[in-house]
Structure 1
Amino acid sequence: MIMRSNAVPNVFLSGGSSPYLGERDRLRYLPDLTVDAVKVLCGNRYEHFEANTETTVIDDRELRVFEWTRCTYVAE
């Protein structure tokens, strides 16, 4: 799933321990909010997040929450 970083955020990526995924990087735009999971390239690995039923409010905007589940590494 491609997430545009220059659009108005509509999801928040929660959890995980990647040093490459700062707090502001966790605010993302998804063109299709009906997806069950997303993955984000962070350095040499992908961080995987799954949708849940929660929402959160950040900067007066309600965002759908995707919870971190695991990471996988990029094959060389």
Structure 2
Amino acid sequence: MSTNVPNAVLHGGPDHFMPGASRVRHVADLDEQVKVESGGCYEHFKPTAEQVDHEGTVLRVFSWTHRTYVAE
């Protein structure tokens, strides 16, 4: 059974690409980098050792590292 309970929060990166609420999300593997599509590019986030409490739920913090562009 698959649950999509939020377990991660994405920190950093350009503010315009992702509103605050969509930065809290479910990540399948908390030890792997996360890649989020944003228009014609991808924003990349790496897992950190940091955790935060968000509305009673502990979330793993992922930190923005870089952007790549979608190949045409």
TM superposition score category, shorter chain reference = 0.7 to 0.9
Show the counterpart of 2:30: 33
The TM-score normalised by the length of structure 2 is: 0.87
Q: Which has the larger radius of gyration?
A: 2
Q: Is residue 3 of structure 2 the alignment partner of residue 10 of structure 1?
A: no
Query: What CA RMSD, in Å, does the superposition of the two structures yield over aligned residues?
Result: 1.5
Which of the pair is proportionally richer in helix?
2
Moved over 6 A (4+): none
Gaps of 5+ in 1: 1-5
Q: Is residue 13 of structure 2 the alignment partner of residue 20 of structure 1?
A: no
Q: Is the 8 A contact 2:30 2:47 kept in 1?
A: no
How far does the alpha carbon of each residue in 1:6-38 deviate from its partner, in whole angstroms, 9 at most, with x for none?
A: 821100000001512110110110122232x11
Residue-pair matches, total: 70
Gaps of 5+ in 2: none
Q: Percent identity of the aligned residues? A: 43
